[in-house]
Amino acid sequence: MGATLNTAVGKAAYTLSDRATWLAFQNKADFDVNVVSRATRPLLNQYGVILLNPARFPSVKVKDGQAFIDWLISPEGAKRPSPIFHIGGQQVFFPNYAPGQ
């Protein structure tokens, strides 16, 4: 996404970007870049987690991987990214599910 933003800035073009990348982007001062629109409804930038198949990837650490997945979808894990991941004082990740779903 950073490369796309650099290209858009360099060509005075439009692009779509996720909020976290935009806030972290360091090349804004090179060109008068403005946010043209913010969705009234949040656009989702989904992330997922998949445990690799140990039959295909023998070096995968199944127990460690499953422990991470279990933590990530737990109530504690679901709260974790939200309060701690900020850029410039703005929250950039918001869980969009309830643990146990």
Distance CA 49, CA 64 (A): 13
**Can you list the positions of beta strands (E) in the chain?**
86-87, 90-91
Q: Higher pLDDT residue, 59 or 28?
A: 59
Distance CA 4, CA 11 (A): 11
Is residue 55's pLDDT more than 90? yes
Is residue 51's pLDDT more than 70? yes
Q: What phi and psi, each to the nearest 5 degrees, are found at residue 91?
A: -70, 135
- For the question of whether the overall pTM of this predicted structure is more than 0.75, the answer is no
CA distances from residue 42 to 11, 12, 94, 95 in whole angstroms, order as listed? 27, 26, 10, 12
pLDDT in tens, 7-46: 888 888 888 888 788 888 777 655 566 676 666 676 677 7
